[in-house]
Amino acid sequence: AQTVTQSQPEMSVQEAETVTLSCTYDTSENNYYLFWYKQPPSRQMILVIRQEAYKQQNATENRFSVNFQKAAKSFSLKISDSQLGDTAMYFCASGTDKLIFGTGTRLQVFP
């Protein structure tokens, strides 16, 4: 069965600093996608960044980037220049026609 593990229940970072959220996954699929979603206090799920497993180049979206290590099945999210609005739950997800989500990491950005 597919699994997604986020080993950091909570993280904190000071505004303008950089933080990295960890995610590991296990899948028997050869081709799959990986996602990071953000869930702010409003509870609306928002896509942060996506990575195609067949692409070696790490995805980047403005201040958000990933470190994708396919052999290690690792998919970490780096947030640069953290902002107060980044405070949220962050979920890692993996899959093809269905997505398996991790249990989430609660990120708090302090002024």
Partner 1 sequence: SQTIHQWPATLVQPVGSPLSLECTVEGTSNPNLYWYRQAAGRGLQLLFYSVGIGQISSEVPQNLSASRPQDRQFILSSKKLLLSDSGFYLCAWSVLVWDNEQFFGPGTRLTVL
Q: Which residues contact 27 (CB under 8 A, 6 or more apart)?
A: 2, 73, 94, 95
CA distance 89 to 10: 9
**CB of residue 16 to partner 1, shortest distance in Å:** 28
In the region spanning residues 43 to 102, those forming contacts with partner 1, defined by CB under 8 A, are 43-47, 50, 91, 93, 95-102
**CB of residue 17 to partner 1, shortest distance in Å:** 25
Give strand ranges (E) for the chain.
Answer: 3-5, 10-14, 19-21, 24-26, 33-39, 46-52, 60-61, 64-69, 74-79, 88-95, 99-101, 105-110
**CB of residue 91 to partner 1, shortest distance in Å:** 6
Closer residue to partner 1 in complex, CB, 1/71: 1
Closer residue to partner 1 in complex, CB, 7/18: 7
Report CA Rg, the chain: 13
103 lies in the binding site for partner 1 (CB under 8 A): yes
Closer residue to partner 1 in complex, CB, 23/109: 23
> Largest Cα–Cα distance of the chain, in whole Å?
42
Residues lying near partner 1 in the complex (CB under 8 A): 31, 33, 35, 37, 43-47, 50, 91, 93, 95-104
